[in-house]
Chain A
Amino acid sequence: MKLIKTLAFAAMLNALPTHGMAQSFPEGPITWVVNWPAGGGQDTTSRLVAERLSGVLGVPIVVENYDGAGGLTGMRELAGADADGYTIGMLGSSSVIQQYTTDEPVMMDQLEVLSFFGPDPGALTVGADTPYKTLDEYIAAVKEAPGDVPNGNDPPGGASYISAAIMESALGLELNKVPYGGYAPTVTALLGGEVESATVPVPQVLEHAAAGDVRILGVMAGSRHFLAPEIPTFADQGYEVFAGDFRAVVAPAGLPEDVAKILSDALVEVLSSEEFVAAANAAGYMIEPLGAEAASARISAFDEQVYPVLQEAGLVTNPK
């Protein structure tokens, strides 16, 4: 371990003066900004990629966690870094949403998309003690008592809150959206029966569903989740609801074109490798390796889908 540190330091010293020359990029360690604390989903996925990207690029990749302000602190750090390719990071759906809901946000045009990592589709999960056996029953119950069924989710602007809001708007429902600080407390509240349903992504509830503590009523994606192919999607049951988180790798805007290409290609190479996909799938993450352009298109599509929902929910303080 000491050796790695020493090497990283030596490499860094050597690399400092020549950042401008992109032909030989990269020449020194790359910083990977994670805008959530160590151990979370964003951190785990980042480390899964960073470890292997380091092998492809041949330089150390140092993961740095910037916690705070619902991920905004890290995004600000990333957007404010030099656009030389030596600082990259992971972005989630909440960073797209925060553009419109936060003071002093980081806008997407301050960032350059390098690759898509994959979607993390939302799901509707109910506690085993609740009377809802099917999605139809749940929807009927919520329609009968608008605003009364407590649903566990992030604070407004977080991914699972938006999943709930998208579901509400698509199906004409009104839930009692109860915010928790992250997926772990949300799942705890669902298990303890404090909330009747939750809209967290599939991997968060899969093991509890297998143990019979919760029931997943539907997945909010175009296709079934690879870890739970027996669970139908919303669309399978006749409801057009597509929601959830996603992850993409980004850099500060204004990257030299060749540097962006080197990084983007290397990322797609890592994300497409069988060994990586196996490791990520084992940890519960869905992989969809897309290059810079396709990834940008996906993010724009999400942006267009989510903006009206935010407006409807009265969350927009920074209009488009």
Chain B
Amino acid sequence: MSPTPNKDQQPDPRESLNDLIAGGLCLILSFGLAIYHTAQAGRLHEDFGRDPGPAFLPVILLIALGLSGVALTLRGGLGMWRRRPPEMAASLFSLWPAAAAIAILVTFLPLRALFGAATALIVIGAALALLAGRTETSRWPVTAATGALVGLGLFGVFRFGLSVPL
């Protein structure tokens, strides 16, 4: 899936930065969830006799996640300290199409609540086609219209072919 950073060589500074980000995220996630978990009221922390109880495994996993977060942060920090990473701002900006696609997907449920699933999918289909076809040569009204048609067609398949209550 992904190339392993080779331990014998000098670590790639970008991989070190990845370690640092991943480690930070793990730490935030484990701390946040740990606070939520320990604060939960109700029967969660009761004594369940022979059963170690529903609170048992989450604690182990949160500790495991926290520890791997610490390890990743340390490894990343150490690597960064050895070699500075290249400028990241430009490569971050190149992610905009992905962010835009997620933003379009997020509108599905609100649009569905307002106008119904068919309309929502027509709009989303058109928007996604425009986004994906931005570098292609075809004219934008055609792209939007075919995208909308894809949305409507798939709506038909799921609503009437599979009777999904969309």
Touching chains A and B, CB distance < 8 Å = yes
Query: Which residues of A line the B interface, CB within 8 A?
Result: 5, 9, 31, 62, 64, 103, 147, 176, 314-315, 317
**Given that A5-B160, A9-B160 are contacting pairs, would A317 and B165 also be in contact in the complex, using a CB cutoff of 8 Å?**
no
Question: Can you pick out 15 interface pairs between chain A and chain B where the beta carbons lie within 8 Å of each other?
Answer: A5-B160, A5-B163, A9-B160, A31-B165, A62-B163, A64-B163, A64-B165, A103-B42, A147-B49, A176-B50, A314-B43, A314-B46, A315-B43, A317-B42, A317-B43
Residue of B nearest to A62 (CB): B163
Q: Tell me the nearest residue of chain A to B43, going by C-beta.
A: A317
Total contacts A to B, CB within 8 angstroms? Answer: 15
Contacts of A315 in B (CB 8 A): 43
Q: How many residues of B contact A (CB 8 A)?
A: 8
When C-beta atoms are compared, the residue in chain B nearest to A66 turns out to be B165
Give every chain A residue within 8 A of B43 (Cβ-Cβ): 314-315, 317
Interface flags for B11-50 (1: CB within 8 Å of A; 0: not) read 0000000000000000000000000000000110010011
A64: B residues at CB distance < 8 A? 163, 165
Q: How far in angstroms is the closest Cβ of chain A from B37? A: 15
Q: Which residue of A lies closest to B163 (CB)?
A: A62
C-alpha gap A5/B165 in the complex (Å): 14
B10 to chain A, nearest CB (A): 50
Interface residues of chain B, those whose CB is within 8 Å of chain A, are 42-43, 46, 49-50, 160, 163, 165
CA distance A317 to B41 in the complex (A): 10
Q: Write the nearest CB–CB distance from A138 to chain B, whole angstroms.
A: 21
> What 12 additional pairs, Cβ within 8 angstroms, besides A64-B165, A147-B49, A176-B50?
A5-B160, A5-B163, A9-B160, A31-B165, A62-B163, A64-B163, A103-B42, A314-B43, A314-B46, A315-B43, A317-B42, A317-B43
Complex alpha-carbon distance, A9 and B118, angstroms: 15
Complex Cα gap A64–B160 (Å) = 13
Question: What chain B residues lie within 8 Å of A5 (beta carbons)?
Answer: 160, 163
- CA distance in complex: A91, B79 (Å): 60
A152 CB to nearest chain B CB (Å) = 15
CA distance A31 to B50 in the complex (A): 44
Please name all residues of chain B whose beta carbon is closer than 8 Å to the beta carbon of A31 when the two chains form the complex: 165
A103 to B46, alpha carbons, bound, how many Å? Answer: 17
List chain A residues, Cβ under 8 A from B49: 147
B112 to chain A, nearest CB (A): 15
User: Which residues of B sit under 8 angstroms from A9, Cβ to Cβ?
Assistant: 160
Which A-chain residue is minimally distant from B46 (CB atoms)? A314
Residue of A nearest to B49 (CB): A147
In Å, the complex CA distance between A176 and B43 comes to 19
The CA of A315 and the CA of B43, in the complex, are separated in Å by 8
Q: Kindly list chain A residues whose C-beta atoms are within 8 Å of the C-beta of B46.
A: 314
Residues in A neighbouring B42, C-beta threshold 8 A: 103, 317
Chain B residues within an 8 Å CB radius of A176: 50
Taking CB as reference atom, which chain A residue is nearest B42? A317
Q: Nearest 8 pairs between A and B by C-beta?
A: A317-B42, A64-B165, A5-B160, A62-B163, A9-B160, A317-B43, A31-B165, A314-B43
Distance of A147 Cα from B49 Cα, bound (Å): 10
Tell me the bound Cα distance from A64 to B165 in angstroms: 8
B163 neighbours in A (Cβ, 8 Å): 5, 62, 64
In Å, the complex CA distance between A315 and B42 comes to 10
Shortest CB-to-CB span from B152 to chain A, Å, is 15
Q: How far is the CA of A314 from the CA of B48 in the complex (A)?
A: 11
